[in-house]
Amino acid sequence: MKTITACFIVAFTAGAIAGCGGGSYSGSSPMPMQNLQSATAPSQPMNVTSTTLSTTYGGNNYSVTVSNTPGGMMMFNGQMADTSVLTLTLTKNGTVVSTDNTTAYYLTNPYSPLGLSGTTNGVAWTAIITSFTPFPATLAVGSSGTLLAATYRDSMGNAIGSLTETYTVTADSPTAVFVNINGSGTLNGTPATDTLIYSVTSTGAIALVQLQITVNGVTLTFK
């Protein structure tokens, strides 16, 4: 899951021409470039290159490195599925304090996510996706929707939490829009919200630009 505040880029160009001699010329400044209003939806799954984001909290410097590695075919919930491994490495003042690996399982052609598996605080869990709606072909600024819902289960099959993911599209710059993937839910009784924010160009190329996580009322924003 993921929560983020968007930042944006404004492009502005101004020019002036001064006359000489007995007359003068007053030119008008060019209008600022308009932000991109829509973009082609990125292909799913939204794999990104290894990205490191940073923040400061409580006088300490933290950074998180996010990487995504394609995996092989594996059985998940009774179906053969493609896999990818999402790795989150957290450092504090330059020292690695935790590394979390989550495996995603999905079908292709068309893309359909089946679930996730991982370990949190030593407790193994599986997230079974119960509903999924893909992005529309075009993502317009101001649009939003629900992406998926999932149920977390422990190794015994007991429900231990839930997850809902939604998206919103906001303005970024003249060449890209922001796609905010917002997650909320609980895991082992702990509520959490988070957002991944991606910059998406008109052709659907993506880059991860910000990550915000809120747990037990504490919010960390990495960018």
pLDDT, tens only, 56-77: 988 999 998 988 888 899 999 9
**What DSSP assignment string belongs to 119-183?**
EETTEEEEEEEEEE-PPPSEEETT-EEEEEEEEEEETTS-EEEEEEEEEEEEEEETTEEEEEEEE
Confidence (pLDDT) at 138: 97
Count other C-beta atoms under 10 Å from residue 174's C-beta: 14
Specify whether the backbone of 172 is left (phi greater than 0), alpha (psi in -120 to 50) or beta.
alpha
Overall domain count for the chain:
1
Is the residue at 81 inside a domain?
Answer: yes
Q: Which range of residues forms the domain containing residue 129?
A: 38-222
Nearest by Cα to 160 from 200, 198, 132, 120: 120
Confidence (pLDDT) at 29: 56
Is the residue at 5 inside a domain?
Answer: no
* Beta bridge partner(s), residue 108: none
Is the residue at 172 inside a domain?
Answer: yes
Indicate the average pLDDT of the chain. 82
Q: In this structure, are residues 8 and 176 in contact, taking their beta carbons and an 8 Å threshold?
A: no
**Count of residues making up the chain:** 223
Is the residue at 132 inside a domain?
Answer: yes
Is the residue at 209 inside a domain?
Answer: yes
Is the residue at 120 inside a domain?
Answer: yes
* Beta bridge partner(s), residue 171: 177
Query: Is it the case that residue 188 has pLDDT exceeding 70?
Result: yes
Is the residue at 31 inside a domain?
Answer: no
Is the residue at 19 inside a domain?
Answer: no
Q: What is the mean pLDDT of residues 151-169?
A: 93
